[in-house]
Structure 1
Amino acid sequence: MKKGILSAVFMLAAVISTQAQAPKTPVAPKPADSTAAKKPASKIKSYDQVITKEAKSSKGLFTTHQVGDKYYFEIPKKHLGKDMLLVSQIAKIPNGLGGGYVNAGTSSHEQLIVWEKFQEKILIKIKSYAAVAPDSLPISLSVKANNYEPTLYAFDIETYSKDTSSIVIDVTKFYTSDIPAMSGLDASLRETHKVRNLDASRSFIRSVKSFPLNIEVLQDFTYNATKPSATAYTETISMQMNQSMILLPEKPMKPRLFDQRVGYFTQKQFDYGSEELKSDQKTYIQRWRLEPKDMAAYKRGELVEPIKPIVYYLDPATPMKLRKHMKKGVENWQKAFEVAGFKNAIICKDPPSKEEDPDFSPEDIRYSVIRYVASTTRNAMGPSVSDPRSGEIIESDIIWYHNHLRSYRNRFLIETAASNPKARTLETSEEDIGEMMEMVISHEVGHALGFPHNMGASSSYEVENYRKADFTQKEGISASIMDYARFNYIAQPEDKGVRYIRQMGPYDNYAVNWGYRLLPDAKTPEDEVLTLNKWVEAKAGDARFRFGNQGTTFDPSSQTEDIGNDPVRASTYAVKNLKYVAKNLASWTSNKTNDYEDLIELNDELLSAWSRYVGHVTTTVGGVYEQYAKPNQQIASYVVVPKATQQTAVKWLLANAFSNVDWLINREVVTHHMMGYTDRIRSLQASPLNRMLSFETFARLDNSGLSTANAYKTVDLCQDLRQGLWSELATGAKMDGFRRNIQKAYVERMKYLLTEQMTPSPFAREFYNVSQSDVRSIVRGELKTLLASLQTAKGKYADKETAYHLADCIDRIQTALNPTKAQK
């Protein structure tokens, strides 16, 4: 031990001696390891550390992995920067969410995304084609600088594939977080249901599936909410969301410019490369990509099959007896595509067996499927997914809810049984119910082909034609399957051989040809416009080829659930039929089944039908006909409904909606079920009254004087309603409970008009300053006139109900006219 110490001392002395003898020149310090000092060790692990032997993997657009409770995407570098579509769709929701206006299958968000690499992160960027300019133009730099794309999410790179061609990221947190841009609960729903937060402990990924062109992620989300739509005591909202990520075509389809005279769903862009003095808004239609196998034959006008037809597969869950009707509903569109030059353009197939197609899955974007949903919902839907760059429809799934045929059975009976003996039963024939289903599928497929509702199609036919067998059997009951014209409710008991169920119409052929016929010689969308215009103008003046927008609330020729070109005459026939049905409803239902369930359900349907017929007439008052046109057509876009027509409508409503409603009372239903029946009828009567006595109606009536000398004015309407609703004051005639109710509703509505302001609405096109208009003056004048009549008439009535009613109305009017005095 000591020997070792002595050796160390001698060595140290030698070193010191050497240093002392060395020259005193400066020695440069050894540079520090800058990498070790400043750069932290990489967090990227080896592939085997991340994707372990326990991983459950699936190959597709991205290879996906599940390792325990974590999910990974293995993203090929070749897909970085490629356009993809992220579609957020509600898969399952609790009852009553959003007041029942939100459904399973509803798409809450569709957004274009790209995956980008930045340092050791992968970003999802939301990309927009709302503002575009060719890269060759200098302005493209400004478009990019002023439309910087937001980052939806940032992921750490976990590892690289063994050949380094792919990047692996952990997507677990991304798909279990409450990301507003992917949520099924928007701000309005969160406020309505008082959603506090997402409960992470009850939220998870249910499944991840990868297919060649898409990835599907099913999420279970549970929220803490003070006012949930169902099971309130749980303070919980649970729902499922489906997130679809879809690879878009490398080369976008050549788009077709939209023309509002032909109804199509659309995509919009602002083109900053335009030669115009402003950004040029371009709107493209949504449609499938159809290309002929033989272009030369197609140019010669021959029918040619498409390279890739539109194919729908039936859900394996579809009942066998319904499959033929679904197939026919899809393939009804084949004739329309033949008009556009394509043979067998749309096909419906049975679900393939495992042997036929082992890869078949309804979630695979390569397959469009008619989903058969076991649900009590009475509905069907035809959503589609489209490329925002061009409007190309990529895929669509038609959704059919099991109970939907129950609604059609009910309406078939209520609307046609007066003249159609086959409808006077709860056991609708398989032939009729199958045809109804066929037409519903055709309607929903129409949506999936790019067509919105055409609510003007049914008004192209004269009312009297609906009573003719030859006409209805050939033309159906609407010029388009895309109208809500389900049944022929006009035909009378003496009319024989008429058609009752809707069918495809001439507008459908026309719209398919306009949107899908190729113009091979046109190089750009703009090159097509001249030809497309000629096609439209060739049909101008023929009401069968007019498109009527669903969004209008003022056009009596473009309404939902109506048929015929004259709402007053059509509703006269319809109400006459309803009265026949009302008398016989018990004998067709409860008397046969010894049960009141169907009677009660159908009676409620009858009241709804009556309300619809009344509503069709109501739209005529303050009505304006809307027709899209271009300047060279020299057609007025807006035409006010003539004064005489509006006055006729008011008289009809006074006679059929505001009086003589005793026939609506079904004694069997009142006796055995419904409480509040009187109030239900009161509500149905008050609705059309409030629509007429509204600021929106008054605004249109005021404007109508600018386009026609003999206009129906606000003062005319108010005077006609006052005299009609209170006609008993002059004669001393008896007022029943329904009459007294509608009179009180009138007084309350006039009070509202005297005190409230018009609220801007996204659904109304009219807005004006009520306080500075004639509205208050007219309402005040009408109330004073009515007050004088009430004070004169109050002594004429001996029965206490009417006497008290008149005295009450007097007090209400006095309070409305002099609120300050009433408070004192």
Structure 2
Amino acid sequence: MIKKLSTLGLLAFAVMGCQTQGKVAGNTGKSPNATVQASKNSNGLKSYNEVITSQAVTDDGLFNTHRVGDKLYFEIPLDLMEKDMLLVSRIAQVPSGFGGGYVNAGSKVNEQVVRWSRRGDNVDLKVISFENESDEDSPIYQSVLVNNFFPILYSAKIAAYNSDSTAVVAEVNSLFENDIEAINGVSSSLKKRYKVKKLDSNRSYIESVRSFPKNIEVKHVMTYEAEEPPERGQAGTISLMMNQSMVLLPDDKMQPRIADYRVGWFTTKKFDYDSEELKSDDYEIIRRWRLEPTDVEAYKRGELVEPVKPIVYYLDPGTPEKWRPYFRQGIEDWNVAFEAAGFKNAIIAKDPPSKEEDPDFSPEDVRYSVVRYVASTTRNATGPSVTDPRTGEIIESDIIWYHNHLRSYRNRYMIEAGAQNPSARTLNTPEEEIGEMMRMVIAHEIGHALGLPHNMKASAAYPTDSLRSASFTQEYGLTPSIMDYARVNYVAQPEDEGVRFIRMMGPYDLYAINWGYRYIPEAKSAREEKATLDKWIAEKAGDPVYEFGGGYDGVDPQSQRESLGDDQVMASEYGLANLKKVVPNLIEWTSKDGYGYDELAEVYRELTGMWRGYISHVIANVGGVYETRKTSDQEGAIYSPVPEEMQKKAVAFLNNHAFTSPEWLLERDLLDRIESSGAIERVQALQTNSLNNLLNEKRLQRMITNEQVNGRDVYTAVELMKDLRTGIFKELYAGQRTDAYRRNLQRSFVDAASSYVRKVNGAEDDRILKSDVIALMRGEMERLKRDISQRKSRVNDPLTQYHWNDLIARIDQGLRMDL
């Protein structure tokens, strides 16, 4: 049988294995241990007891670790040399404001396969790649080997051998106390941002080390000298605690499953050089847990069968008792999806064991997956996992729930459901409802840990008006997938009784889990599974409930975070109608006798942000392109422009709601309690950002391309600019005075158009010089200048006339080529 190997296996053997073999066994016929002993004596290494003294603090596990004073020693068994291990680097503790607040404790900074290798009197830690692969009997295999040489991450002298010469002892302090880029938490961009000088070795040290049967955990503090640390008062330094996990990967490799971009999965990329194609065959495998039925024959008959090894999540001992039932439900909600894949009791939630039940239980032990409850002001939850890159097998996962994420959902519920749902009109959200929200957050994060990415397209499968229906939402939820960002039903109106306000799992989730986890016993390789997997996709083709879209390129308006329904304009109109009812009540809903208005300010600020989100949902339709993922055997186009009428509808919404003075948002009673000034600047920022988003060069280029390719019946860039000009400058054309908000918006319009023309000067990108967008903007400014010149005297308001004159000056400046 031809054995399929990545470049890892034989390269490590060819480069290091022969040396190791020679050192251990040589050609003398002696036993390996005898040769090791001879080597030890000839090199004058210290005895084990001289290095690992009676003062050593030892922890037994995958390999023994020893702390002797300030020194850390790894005692690495020889039978673990050349074994695949996964080195996962995470930030365990982070300073305030680090990374702009977007880098949290628990953030993964790197994940790489490593191998310990013995090289004479040294041990090397090599970084191994599994991207490039070939059959070992293939002629090209040797080329793959020599063109994928693996780097040495770290090397240390062997200090001693253990008593029976089955393990080497090496001091590894410098691995954790030096600035090794592959495992540190301060990226090169952050070093530049904070003007980091160097790592301070006097303030960098190993905090702790734990050894478990399948993993080693080391925590170490890294302190950098920095001229501009993220927060003042940090003594000119940045200190953070790193956690390095070294996990032994299984010898018995799981059969991979080849990914298909039509079904959303986290993936690992591969390059197969044995392909018959006239190139390397690049493909991806999905990341998933190893689930195999205990009774294959019963599974084949269609019976639900328990897996050999179920997925088990333990709750963190620090999880408050009242939240534990919701966490357990969120975990085990996925059993419905696994039943669709033929498994019962596939995922199990357990309370943390007591000391009596399991005195060695630790969340850091890779044998246990844990939902960790973190006492932190961070408002987030994450679902990371540890994956074997050779096969895509998920080895372990720790879900992280940060305590203050409760605050996020409390606020969102008030803002988006307060108009419709009386129980949302308080900062003390009823336990049953906040518990249901927590349950669905945990379910969402478990989905990530099972291998599923966000599916932002899911929500567009449901008609927007259906989200106002009690019967529809109670049965189908807000979206076909819990992996969408669609957290609260802001479409429902106050008169819609009995609707569901909180998301839940849906049919896409069952479909995706079945596609990724159903056991296919007749397939003996990943390639042999493909026909079956393709058949399952074909059965659902054309049904939007089963479509996937990541939503990260900003092109498809149906793939957006927090968007609800298939009509984003209608959804935003409903959302705005609710916000207008919420704002006048915020003082009452957030106030507490004896306290200030900090909560009011926070909720109001977040409400403004959600309004900005509704606007962006609408903008995405202008110049937008729908994406329906297909393969070449499926009929029809993958990309199709948003229809002309929908684009016009979106621009009309923007002119009527986004680019008018938002009097409803400027509740005087409210603002007088939270700020002395800032309302004008806040509205200006919101409108300017929205306008710049709408006039994005890529968006305009898509519209120009669409006109060129499709001809008639398209919404053109010229029409967009005309509709915007007549909307944003409607006071000019109606002979009316302008208020401060509108003046700011009109200046922003001229500035945005001028910025394109300025790109002509000194442009290094030839694409910009040849772009129709510059001609479009120049023509719009010239037209606007003529209109202002002809109409500016029609209104008897000095400030408005000054404003029109100022705009003419700005346009003249923007059009000049000598700037």
Structure 1 length as normaliser, TM-score? 0.92
Report the Cα distance in structure 2 between the residues aligned to 1:397 and 1:801, rounded to whole angstroms.
Answer: 60
What is the SS of the residue equivalent to 1:126? strand
Deviations 1:544-600 (A, max 9, x none): 110011322011100001101001111111101110111222222227776322221
Q: Please, which moves more after superposition, 773-782 or 514-523?
A: 773-782
Structure 1's 726 and 94: CA in aligned 2 closer, same or farther, altered over 3 A?
A: same
Letter in 1 for 2:197: R
Aligned to 1:58: 59
> Which of 745, 753, 756 is residue 753 of structure 1 equivalent to?
756
Residue in structure 2 matched with residue 175 of structure 1 by the alignment: 176
Deviation of the 1:708 alpha carbon: 2.4
Structure 1 contact 413–425 (Cα < 8 Å) conserved: yes
Question: Which one of the candidate residues 720, 724, 729 is aligned to 2:723?
Answer: 720
Q: Does 1:738 align with 2:737?
A: no
- Are residues 40 and 793 of structure 1, via their aligned partners in 2, closer, same or farther at CA, if it must alter by over 3 Å? farther
- Aligned counterparts, 1:400-549, within 5 A: 400-549=401-550
Task: Within 5 Å, give how 1:205-354 maps onto structure 2.
Answer: 205-232=206-233, 234-354=235-355
- Is this contact kept in 2: 1:454–1:549, CA < 8 A? yes
Q: Distance in 1 between matches of 2:528 and 2:762?
A: 44
- Alignment of structure 1 residues 638-649 onto 2, 5 Å: 638-649=639-650
The residue that corresponds to 2:816 in the other structure is 818
Letter in 2 for 1:681: V
Correspondence for 2:569: 568
Structure 1 CA distance for aligned equivalents of residues 662 and 274 of structure 2: 63
Task: Check the 8 A contact 1:43/1:158 in 2, yes or no.
Answer: no
Unaligned runs of 5+ in 2: 1-39
The Cα offsets for residues 722-742 of structure 1, whole Å up to 9 and x where unpaired, read as 121112112112211111110
Query: Based on CA coordinates, which of the two structures has the bigger radius of gyration?
Result: 1
**Do 2:51 and 2:160's aligned partners in 1 also have CA atoms closer than 8 Å?**
yes
Change (3 A) 1:592 1:487: farther
Residue of structure 2 equivalent to 1:679: 681
Query: In 1, Cα distance between the equivalents of 2:158 and 2:505?
Result: 54
Seen in structure 2, the aligned counterparts of structure 1 residues 706 and 817 have a Cα distance that, compared at 3 Å, is closer
Cα-to-partner distance string for 1:166-215 (whole Å, 9 max, x where unaligned) = 01110111111110011111111111111110011001000010000000
Q: Pick closer, same or farther for the CA change 1:429–1:448 going to 2, 3 Å.
A: same
For 1:344 and 1:427, the matched residues in 2 are separated by 35
Is the contact between residue 552 and residue 558 of structure 1 (CA under 8 Å) also seen in structure 2? Answer: no
Instruction: Name the aligned partner's letter for residue 705 of structure 2.
Output: N
SS state at 1:116 partner: strand
Other-structure match for 2:611:
610
Provide the rounded CA distance (Å) in 2 between the counterparts of 1:205 and 1:518. 44
Note closer, same or farther for the CA distance 1:474–1:595 as it changes in structure 2 (3 Å cut).
same
Displacement of 1:292: 1.0
Amino acid at match of 2:155: A
8 Å Cα contact 2:302/2:342 also seen in 1: yes
Cα offset, 1:40, TM superposition: 12
- Displacement of 1:757 in angstroms is 7.3
Distance of 2:555 and 2:621 partners within structure 1: 7
How many pairs does the alignment contain?
777
The Cα offsets for residues 447-468 of structure 1, whole Å up to 9 and x where unpaired, read as 0000000000111100110111
> How far does the alpha carbon of each residue in 1:357-394 deviate from its partner, in whole angstroms, 9 at most, with x for none?
12210000000011111110110000001000010000
Corresponding residue of 1:781: 779
Structure 1 outlier segments of 4+, above 3 Å:
591-595, 757-760
Deviates more, 1:704-713 or 1:561-570: 704-713
- Alpha-carbon spacing, 1:203–1:591, altered in 2? closer, same or farther (3 Å): closer
CA distance in 2, matches of 1:461, 1:185: 43
- Residues 294-313 of structure 1: CA distance to partner in whole angstroms, max 9, x if unpaired? 11111111111111100000
Give how far 1:721 is off: 1.1
* 1:442 shift after superposition: 0.2
**Secondary structure, counterpart of 1:74 in structure 2:** strand
- 2:121 corresponds in structure 1 to 120
**Which range is displaced more, 732-741 or 665-674?**
665-674
Residue number in structure 2 paired with 1:9:
none
Q: Is the 8 A contact 2:756 2:777 kept in 1?
A: yes
Counterpart of 1:102 in structure 2 is 103
**Secondary structure in structure 2 of the residue aligned to 1:169:** strand
Contact 2:223 2:240 survives alignment (8 Å): yes
Q: Distance in 2 between matches of 1:660 and 1:737?
A: 9
Report the alpha carbon displacement of residue 705 of structure 1 after superposing the two structures with TM.
2.7
Contact 1:730–1:793 (Cα < 8 Å) also in 2: yes
Q: Which residue of 2 aligns with 1:807?
A: 805
SS at match of 1:576: helix
Q: What is the rounded CA distance, in whole Å, between the counterparts of 1:682 and 1:638 in structure 2?
A: 35
Of residues 787-796 and 236-245 in structure 1, the stretch that sits farther from structure 2 once superposed is: 787-796
- Structure 2: distance between partners of 1:125 and 1:232: 39
Q: Which residue number corresponds to residue 11 of structure 2?
A: none
Give the match's secondary structure for 1:133.
strand
Q: State the match for 1:698 in structure 2.
A: 700
> TM-score normalized by structure 2?
0.93
Query: 1:694·1:753 contact (CA, 8 Å) conserved in 2?
Result: no
Change in Cα spacing, 1:736 to 1:459, as seen in structure 2 (3 Å) is: same
1:85 touches 1:110 (CA, 8 Å); kept in 2?
Answer: yes
Per-residue Cα deviation, 1:487-542 (whole angstroms, up to 9, x for no partner): 11011111111000000000000000000001000011111111101101111111
Query: Which residue number in structure 2 is paired with residue 79 of structure 1?
Result: 80
* AA at the equivalent of 2:266: F
* Structure 2 residue identity aligned to 1:683: A
Contact 1:467 1:492 in 2 (8 A): yes
Task: Assess if the C-alpha contact under 8 Å between 2:761 and 2:817 holds in 1.
Answer: no
Instruction: Please give the secondary structure, in 1, of the residue aligned with 2:395.
Output: strand
Contact 1:699–1:768 (CA under 8 A) maintained in structure 2 = no
**Aligned-residue identity in percent:** 51
Deviation at 1:416, TM superposition (A): 0.8
Letter in 1 for 2:704: D
Q: How far apart in 1 are the matches of 2:564 and 2:645?
A: 21
Spell out, residue by residue over 1:213-236, the C-alpha distance to the aligned partner (whole angstroms, 9 max, x if none).
000000111100111101256211
Of residues 664-673 and 703-712 in structure 1, the stretch that sits farther from structure 2 once superposed is 703-712
Distance 2:782 2:360 in 1: 76
Report the Cα distance in structure 2 between the residues aligned to 1:385 and 1:617, rounded to whole angstroms: 38
1:791 aligns with 2:793: no
Q: Which AA in structure 2 matches 1:371?
A: R
- 8 Å contact kept, 1:376–1:403: yes
Distance in 1, matches of 2:762 and 2:582, equals 41
Conservation of the 8 A alpha-carbon contact between 1:311 and 1:348: yes
Partner of residue 23, structure 1 = none
SS of residue matched to 1:601 = helix
SS of the aligned residue for 1:52 comes to coil
Q: CA deviation at 1:714?
A: 1.9
Which amino acid in structure 2 is aligned with residue 688 of structure 1?
A: S
Q: Name whichever of 228-237 and 549-558 sits farther off.
A: 228-237
How many Å separate the matches in 2 of 1:252 and 1:703? 49
Match of residue 5 from structure 1: none
Secondary structure of the residue aligned to 1:452 is coil
Correspondence for 1:583: 584
The one-letter amino acid paired with 1:816 is: G
* Alignment equivalent of 2:767, drawn from 766, 769, 774: 769
Give the AA of the match of 1:749.
Answer: A
Residue in 2 that maps onto 1:361:
362
1:40 and 1:327 map into 2 onto residues whose CA distance is 58
Inter-partner Cα distance in structure 2 for 1:313 and 1:114 = 30
Matches within 5 A, 1:5-84: 42-84=43-85
CA distance in 1, matches of 2:679, 2:733: 30
Q: Is the 8 A contact 2:726 2:733 kept in 1?
A: no
